[in-house]
Amino acid sequence: MKIRIGSRGSDLALAQSRWVAAQLEALPQKPTVEIEIIKTRGDVNLDRPLASFAGEPDAKGLFTKELEQALLEGRIDLAIHSFKDLPTENPAGLTLACTPPREDPEDILLFRKSSRGRDHLPFVSAGSRIGTSSIRRQELVRHHWPDIKITDIRGNVPTRLARLFDSDPDRRVEALLLAAAGMKRLRAAGAFADALWSDRLAELEVHPLEAAVFPPAPAQGALALQCRADDGVLIECLMGLHSDPDFARVQSERHVLRVLEGGCHVPLGCHCVPSVRESFSIHVFHARSGKVRRLFTRHAHTAEALGKAVGQELLGQLPIIVTGKSERVAEIRALAPERVIACATIETEALPIPAEDLKNLADLLETNPILAAFSATGVRAFFELARQNVSIHESLSRVRWAVVGSRTEAALLDQLPRAPVAFRSPDGTAGGLAAVIQSQPDDPKVIALAAERTRPDFYTKLGPAIRLKLNLYRTKPIESLDKANLPPAALVILGSPSSVDGFQAHCQAAGRSLSEPQLLLCAIGPTTADYLRSLDLEPYAIAPEPDYEAFVRELSHKD
C-alpha cells in the first residue's frame, strides 16, 4: 500500500507530515509513504498581513485549497493540515478521516531574558513590541495588555524567532506570540539543533499562556488528515492513528467557528476541555468591531452540545429567561426587553418570630454583635420587625453589619443610611462572608438575618460564633405560571435554589424538563450552581459576581 502525502513546504508543515508518515509506516498495514510539497496561496503571499485576506474569495482556504485540489485531482492521497487552518466545511468528495492525538493547544509568549521589564505578564516593558500575525492574538493583547504595541509578523517559525535577534532596531521585536505545538514539533524534528539556534533558544524565556485567560484558536495543536471520501482502504488505515476524545473537543471548538462563518480571519479563541463530573468546559474569547471583546467560560455535559450552545449565544439567537420574584424580574427585563423574558418563579412571605428569639435578639444587640445579611429581602424584613420593637430599633446604632453582596448593602443603606458595614463577602457567597468574619481577631457574636431555608456553609464555618439565626421569611415556588413564557430554547438565569425549584415546577407544568439541552441553565453564584449539580444538572454559565444586570449584559453580549 502506497500513500502519497501532500504537505505545505514550511519547516513546521514538513515536521508534521514526517511525523504522520512515521506513524503510518509503523501501522500493521506497513504502507510506503511519500511526501509531496504543495504551495498554498498563504505561503506565496507572505508580505501581506493575514487580516488583508478577509473578505476575498477563498479566504477561508488560504492554507488549504491547493492541497484539497490535489486530492480531488488524484495527485495525492492524503493531505496533512493544521486543523486550525482548515475551513469548517469539507469540499464535496473529501472527508476528514483522522485526528491524531492533539499536541499542546496553548499559546506561548517568548522574549529574550534581557528584555524582561516586569515580574508579571507580559513581562516586557510598557511600549514594547509583540510580534504576531494572528488577529485573535492581536485582540487578546489589546484586551489584556493595552500598554503593549503590536507588530504584524508572518513567515515560518524560525523567521519569526529571528526577529527577536534582528540587529535592525526598526525590525526587532521584544516578544513573540506562537503556538506551543509548533515549537514542540519543530524541536522534536531537530529544527533548532545547530549551535546558532541552541545559543539563541538559551537566551529566551518561554511562558505558557493559560487557555482560560488566553484562549487558543479553535483546533489549535491538532492535525487534520484529509482524504477522498471514497478511499475506504486508506480511511480504515487512518483509524489506527485517530483520537476520538480529541476529535470531539476539536469539533466543539470548530462548531463555534462554523456558526460565526469564520476562518483564521475571525478573532475567536476557544478551547474545550474535560471538566469534573464527566462534563466539559469551553473557554472563549471573541472580539468584534475592533472594540468589544468578551472572555468567558461555559459548561455542558457533552462537547457537541457545548459548541452549539456557545455559537447560538454569540449570535444572539436565544431569549434570556430571568427567574425570581415578580418585581425583581420585571426590573431586569427593562434592560433588554427584546431579549429578556421575565418569569416569576418564587415569592416570599414573612415568618412570625418566636418571643424567645425576640428576647435573645434584644439581649444580643447590647453586646456589639455582627448582624449578617444575605439578601435585600432579609434586610427589609428585619427592619420591618425592628420598627415594631422600639428597643430593637434603638439598639441598631451599636452593631456592625456584614453583607453578602452589593444589592444587600444597598437595601441596608436605604433602611439605615449610616449603617457601619464592617464585612463584605469577596465572592458574593455566604461562605465567603463567613471567612471574612473569621479573620477578625476578636471573638465575634453573629446574628444571622436568614431565610427559613438556607445552605449550611455560613453556619458550619462560624460554628459557636452564631449566637442567633433569625428566620425572617420563607421563599417558596410559585405553583401556577404562564406556560407561554417557556420558549423551545433559552438561556435561563437562576438566582437561588428556590428559583431552581420554581422553574422546575414551571417546566413540569408545561410538560418540559430542566434537563433539556436546549434550556441553558445559568447560575447566579456558586450556591445555585452547586444546587443544580446536586440535581445532576450542569450549569451552562456561572455569574462571576451576584449581579443580575451584569449577567444579562454578559449573556446578551451587549456593549
Cell output for 8:
505545505
The Cβ of residue 43 has, within 10 Å, a number of other Cβ atoms equal to: 18
Residue ranges in 401-475 assigned as alpha helix (H): 406-415, 430-438, 457-462
My answer on whether omega of the bond before 477 falls inside 30° of 0, hence cis, is no
Closest C-alpha among 392, 531, 417 to residue 468: 392
Cα–Cα–Cα angle for 162, 163, 166, rounded to 5 degrees: 90
Cell output for 413:
443603606
Is residue 197 within 8 Å of 58, Cβ to Cβ? no
Backbone angles phi, psi at 483, to 5 degrees: -60, -25
124: left (phi over 0), alpha (psi -120 to 50) or beta: beta
Return d(Cα 117, Cα 124) in angstroms, integer.
Answer: 5
Return d(Cα 548, Cα 412) in angstroms, integer.
Answer: 18
Instruction: Please give, one letter per residue, the 3-state secondary structure of 300-331.
Output: ECCHHHHHHHHHHHHHCCCCEEEEECHHHHHH
C-alpha distances (whole Å) from 434 to each of 282, 361, 386, 407, 429 are: 31, 20, 24, 18, 9
Helix (H, G, I), strand (E, B) or coil at 349: strand
Return d(Cα 317, Cα 556) in angstroms, integer.
Answer: 9
Backbone angles phi, psi at 266, to 5 degrees: -95, 125
Is residue 61 within 8 Å of 53, Cβ to Cβ? no
Which residues are designated catalytic?
A: 85
Is residue 135 within 8 Å of 267, Cβ to Cβ? yes
Helix (H, G, I), strand (E, B) or coil at 513: coil
Longest Cα pair distance anywhere in the chain, in angstroms?
A: 94
Strand partners, 37: 7
Residue ranges in 355-489 assigned as alpha helix (H): 355-364, 376-387, 390-395, 406-415, 430-438, 457-462
Return d(Cα 131, Cα 138) in angstroms, integer.
Answer: 9
Handedness of CA 183, 187, 189, 193 (dihedral sign): positive
Is residue 344 within 8 Å of 359, Cβ to Cβ? no
